[in-house]
Amino acid sequence: MAGQITKRAVDAAKPGQTVWDGDLPGFGMRVSPKGSKTYVLKYRARGKQRWVTIGQHGKPMPVDIAASSGRVWTPSAARNAAMRLLGRVRDGADPASEKNEARQAETLRQFSKRYLREHVEPHLKPRSAEENKRNLKLHVLPALGDLKVREITRDDVAKFHRSKRETPYLANRCLALVSHMLSTAERWGVFPNGSAVCRYVPKFKEQARKRYLSTDEVKALGRALSDAEAKGMNPQGIAIIRLLMFTGARRSEIVGLCWDEVDFECGAIHFRDSKTGQKSIPIAPPAQAILSDIERVEGSPWVFPAMSSDGHYQGIGKLWNAIRKMAELDDVRLHDLRHTFASFGAAGGHSLPIIGALLGHKQSVTTQRYAHLANDPLHQAVNRISGTIAAALDGIEAAKVLEFQEQPKLHNTGQSSI
């Protein structure tokens, strides 16, 4: 373009467009497909063309530059920075290479900030993002945070992974997080290509947890919930626990439920977002009754709104710890209520595809964990048949036959007290 880049030219630039300064060769402004506008400098050093990013229009400038040029990047501030860079190029420097080398010298702690900002926060679901942040803060960074990213070795990762062997699930999740961080660093040019230091670090064997509540345990939970109501404990949390039992939904789905997802006419909940994406589940009369009794808060979209903010209720973990203690179910997690819903269905003779549909499983293999419960009706049938045959072989009259004791069932399908 003729003349210098002006604010008017920056404002008028369209996504995908690059605007070049007519007075300062190599100085320009690029617009990303999403509309962010970044000042750049193109130059030649050691016989090769280089690009260096100066700053994003309207964003804060580094402190050392801002002291003399202003607080945010503007066309004039970026042009002054480009002139200083070109002066260094004439003196034999290569700013782009220097910037890349500085980036490669980052510690994992420094790199983690960019990783969270550019990958975790924009691309992961909130709960997954929080889990990554928690594992970084509590486990990964205390062990590996001060190491230079480009110098992290397989031995470093293996040693860290072994240090968590007492908690195999946590160890494997942290290993997966470090692996993805380093592969992202490689993609961003911060880590040497082809390093893959996590590839041959063996994961620990995880023991699949299968905790279902028995009928007696469900009754104990029901009594604890009634006692909690009588004591005036948080009614929102109590309603959430009951809904988890009656629907088999995930904790995040019920806690973050909005009224426009509840369809009383169809007797269903249409989740806009869940671990497996959009899905709908039917809700039975007990669940509908709970939802119908909840008083809506004007102006809030949440079924369970927070009392002191615009978000949803956040205290379910603390309340659950208190209630499970009252019910003497100290080893039961909230997620085990989902397993219990499925186990009651399987023990009651419902097919695995039906149970998988109720739980919102996308893969049938996920529902297979309940297969042994679905076989209980078969055990009952074979016990009756073999008992009758055995009695006949012994010459006992059919009227006097006592059936063999049936295989013990994990659950009775009678209605619970919740």
User: pLDDT by residue for the chain (418 residues), tens digit each?
Assistant: 568 999 999 999 999 999 999 999 999 999 999 899 999 999 998 888 999 999 999 988 876 564 455 688 999 999 999 999 999 999 999 988 887 777 667 899 999 999 999 999 888 888 788 899 999 999 999 999 999 988 899 999 999 999 999 999 899 999 999 999 999 988 887 777 666 789 889 999 887 667 888 888 989 999 999 999 999 999 999 999 999 988 888 888 899 999 999 999 888 888 887 766 677 888 888 899 999 999 999 889 999 999 877 889 989 999 999 999 999 999 898 888 888 887 777 666 666 666 666 666 555 555 555 555 555 555 455 555 555 556 666 655 544 444 434 433 444 433 333 4
- 3-state secondary structure (DSSP) of residue 40: strand
Could you tell me if 51 and 89 are in contact, meaning their C-beta atoms sit under 8 angstroms apart? no
- The distance from CA 322 to its chain's CA centroid, rounded to whole angstroms, is 26
Which positions ≥6 away from 144 have C-beta within 8 Å?
108, 152, 156, 157, 160, 178
Query: Is the CA virtual torsion 27, 29, 32, 36 positive or negative?
Result: positive
Helices marked H in 91-190: 95-104, 108-115, 121-123, 126-135, 141-144, 154-163, 168-187
Phi, psi for 107 (deg, rounded to 5):
-80, 165
Which pTM value belongs to this model? 0.52
d(CA 39, CA 101): 21
d(CA 218, CA 244): 13
Neighbouring-strand partners of residue 42: 51
Q: Which amino acid is at 318?
A: K
